[in-house]
Structure 1
Amino acid sequence: MTDTRPAPDADAGQALDPQQLGAYFVLMEAVSLLQHQVEQQLRTEGDISYVQFQLLARLAHAPGHLTMTQLADGVVYSRSGLTYQAGLLEKAGLITRGPSPDDERATLVAITGNGRALLDSVLPGHIQVTRSLLFDPLTGDDLHHLGDIMTRVRDHMRTQPPRSAAPRKRRPSSTQA
């Protein structure tokens, strides 16, 4: 009979038990293997990184413009890293950035026609890599369970604000003598 009880909460200072450690290493290895193949496919077919692909995909499926913070939260990326990546995408003509009329501190981002075209060109290969590596070895029941499990894990992790939404640390002001 399968134990359906949630895993006991461990104190932060305690080591992971062998089952937890094994599950962690298997998950991290699978994610690394998938991400490596996806990165190779995106570089080969579109000369873009995985983060750039995520940004274009989020913008393509957004109901309108997104703020830089919304983008950073969605892809769980630092503000400075996102600014750099958005700059590369803007320079390539794949996105546009501009000030928000509602909030002078916010920058709005939108995908361009060229960005949509690039996304459309790399998407079939992305789907093929994802399907062959991640979904082909799973049954329908496996997929249902994986989706449920990862949704619970993601939702639990999202209870902590992403780093892009966390308050910025203020640098101590230096006083000159």
Structure 2
Amino acid sequence: MTEPVPPLDPAELGAYFSLIEVSSLLRHTVEQQLKDAGGLSYVQFQLLATLGDAADGSLRMTDLADGVVYSRSGLTYQVGLLERDGLVVRAPSAEDERSVTVSLTDAGRALLGRVFPGHVEVLRQLFLVPLSREDVQTLDDVLGRVKAHMRTVPPRSARPRRKQA
């Protein structure tokens, strides 16, 4: 018999609901800005920005999926849309013949350059304005620890696939 799960106390519940609401409000505004400025979805922006941060602008599909926490099939679809628009290219990996590498194109870099200023402005105005520098550092520390803890569970793309019957 399993032990009953204790309820969340008011502070835990409040922190959780605040995180969910802040995340939802911020994501909604960011998504609208990305759509207006570059015709991008939030996930597509994440993919392009992650590639833009990579040393050579390229990542293996599995590493890209892990970085943005996205399913293999969803990532394949989104990368296909970005490739169709000339923002990325896919090629066999030089290190692993079973892997595919995604690389940011010049057009992808140019699009990031167009959407980033508005993106940063939304983040500043909606998210950072009410925070002091100390608040931002504390939030970075706290959320960094939570993220590291959550990353101890393998991301979906790294989990073993179920065998087909």
TM range (shorter): over 0.9
1:42 aligns with 2:57: no
- 1:24 corresponding residue in structure 2: 16
- 1:151 corresponding residue in structure 2: 144
The answer for unaligned runs of 5 or more in structure 1 is: 1-10, 173-177
Equivalent AA in structure 1 for residue 142 of structure 2: I
- Relative distance call for 1:103 and 1:47 in structure 2 (3 A) is same
1:92 aligns with 2:85: yes
Question: Equivalent of 1:33, from 25, 30, 49?
Answer: 25
- 2:62 corresponding residue in structure 1: 69
Provide the TM-score with structure 2 as the length reference: 0.94
- Secondary structure at the counterpart of residue 156 of structure 2: coil
Provide the TM-score with structure 1 as the length reference: 0.88
Moved more, 34-43 or 19-28: 19-28
Residue 12 of structure 1: CA displacement?
Answer: 7.8
The answer for unaligned runs of 5 or more in structure 2 is: none
Tell me the alpha carbon deviations over residues 49-105 of structure 1, each in whole angstroms, 9 at most, x when there is no partner. Answer: 011011111111111221001000000111110000000000000000011132222
- Relative distance call for 1:63 and 1:142 in structure 2 (3 A) is same
- 1:122 corresponding residue in structure 2: 115
Which structure's CA Rg is the greater one? 1
* RMSD (Å) for aligned C-alpha atoms: 1.2
Equivalent AA in structure 1 for residue 122 of structure 2: V
Identity %: 57
1:163 aligns with 2:156: yes
For 2:33 and 2:93, how far apart are their aligned partners in 1? 34
Q: Which runs of 4+ in 1 moved over 4 A?
A: none
Q: Whose helix fraction is larger, Structure 1's or Structure 2's? A: 2
Residue 110 of structure 1: CA displacement?
Answer: 0.4
Aligned residues: 162
- 1:103 corresponding residue in structure 2: 96
- 2:129 corresponding residue in structure 1: 136
